[in-house]
Amino acid sequence: MSLWTSAAIAAATGGRASVDFTATGVAFDSREVGPGDLFIALTGEATDGHRFLTQAFAQGATGAIVSDVCDGPHVRVADTFAALEDLARASRARTAARVIGVTGSVGKTSAKEALYACLDRIWRGQAHRSVKSYNNHTGVPLSLARMPADTHAAVFEMGMNHPGELAHLTTLVRPHVAVVTAIAPAHTAFFPDESAIADAKGEIFRGLEPGGVAIIPYDSPHRDRLIAAARPHAERIVTFGSDPAADVRAIEAVRVKSGGSFVTARIGDRELSFTLSQPGAHWVSNALAVLAAVDAVGGDLAMAGLALAELGGLPGRGARFVTAGDALVIDESYNANPASMRATLAVLAHEPGRHVAVLGEMRELGEASADYHADLAGPVEDARVETAILVGEAMRPLAERLEGRVAIVHVPDASMALDRLRALIAPGDAVLVKGSNGVGLARVIAGLKGG
């Protein structure tokens, strides 16, 4: 099906089409271009997308948005980034979809994927989401531009690491429902304290459509701050959590043999019992937020419960596999902050066998970085970790805190971490791999899968 015509692109962006063409997809990374795609030649400090036009057309692009000379079918504009945002606005304007925006210090990608699974189960083939972790100033408009006009429900992840960023993104997404998963130390190098992080996350409510719903974690110490941020923009505020006063709450959550949980939740005056495939208390919290959002857009809660039971782990965010040497690996390699480190170490604690943790440094934590790292000592011990492979210089405070209490291997990079892990891993081990994305622990995962 056609996603965009050259005429629609030109109308949205104020550009001029060289010829008529249609596109079935949108990309701005030439490596991701496929047959039928519209390639947007973005320019930036590091590179210029116009250099990759030949490659994009060779890979099947049917047209491009450019601001320079182009031999292939194109729409020429003054500024390609502005055109990407214009295309996003046009996509949002033409749809009647119920739109959900998700942000939070932790859990936003997992909640977004869980929400999409629920929406797709309810409205098969008519749900849309932002892929991967496309949640920034380019990823959000790209995800909007990729949304089919006949979408029934859509969920978009929105991230930030500076004040003001969400305020802009939410005006593009214009959600009917805005979810904050949790507030925790993340990107603290750019914020004076957690309250400032809560304020920045609360910017998501500014884009709410009339009649919009704000979904807020009741158990958060910043609950009232988030409620105050939502009140001027939301018609209804829904809280979720374990406290009996939460609007959507877990009455019971019992760990099951598969590692997940059997959850009984109260949503308003209704109860829903379901099996949650993903392990950990943090996933119970995610599921409550998801159910609140599904209910807010008029979705079938029973169908959502079935989707949560079938939800698989995400690569880099909880996916599991068994190595050729019969060791369980929990892949949390995509990112890390103090809260997510604690949550995933708590999951490791319940696994059988010897526990090994490969932990990469947590970045963008500012002046308190050493304390945040050292404070992971308790969670590491509580997870019954026998050997901790710590990666990066910022992990030194944790290595010093654990000395004499846990076997420590402190290495400078992911390649050395993989070498040391291969030397000690044994059948029956449970291995957690987690760290900030820039540490590159995905290489450890790839190495373990490769044998």
Pairing of the two strands 328-332 and 319-322:
antiparallel
Exposed/middle/buried for residue 352 (C-beta within 10 Å: 0-12, 13-18, 19+): exposed
Q: How many residues does the chain have?
A: 451
Q: Put the strands of the sheet holding 16-17 in their side by side order.
A: 16-17, 74-76, 63-66, 37-40, 25-27
First to last CA, the chain: 41
* 8 Å CB contact between 317 and 107: no
Question: Which of 264, 310, 340, 325 has the alpha carbon at shortest distance from 108?
Answer: 340
Angle at alpha carbon of residue 137, lines to 220 and 174, rounded to 5°: 65
Would you list which residues are annotated within the binding site?
104-110
How many whole angstroms separate alpha carbon 171 and alpha carbon 422? 48
Residues 150 and 190 sit within 8 Å (Cβ to Cβ):
no
Any bridge partners for residue 16, and if so which?
A: 76
Q: How far apart are CA 84 and CA 26, in angstroms?
A: 10
Map residue 137 onto helix, strand or coil: coil
CA 364/CA 353 separation, integer angstroms: 34
| Closest-CA residue to 422 (of 324, 346, 334) | 324
Residues 6 or more apart in contact with residue 316 via CB below 8 angstroms:
331, 332, 333, 334, 335, 442, 445
- 88 — phi, psi (to 5°)? -60, -45
Give residue for tokens 């710590």: 390
Looking at 77-164, list the stretches that DSSP marks H as alpha helix, in order from N- to C-terminal side. Answer: 80-94, 108-122, 139-145
Q: Which two three-digit tokens encode residue 29?
A: 């990374």
Binding-site positions for ATP: 104-110
Q: Which residues of 409-444 are buried (b: 16+ CB within 10 A; e: fewer)?
A: bbbeebeebbebbeeebeeebbbbbbbbeebbbbeb
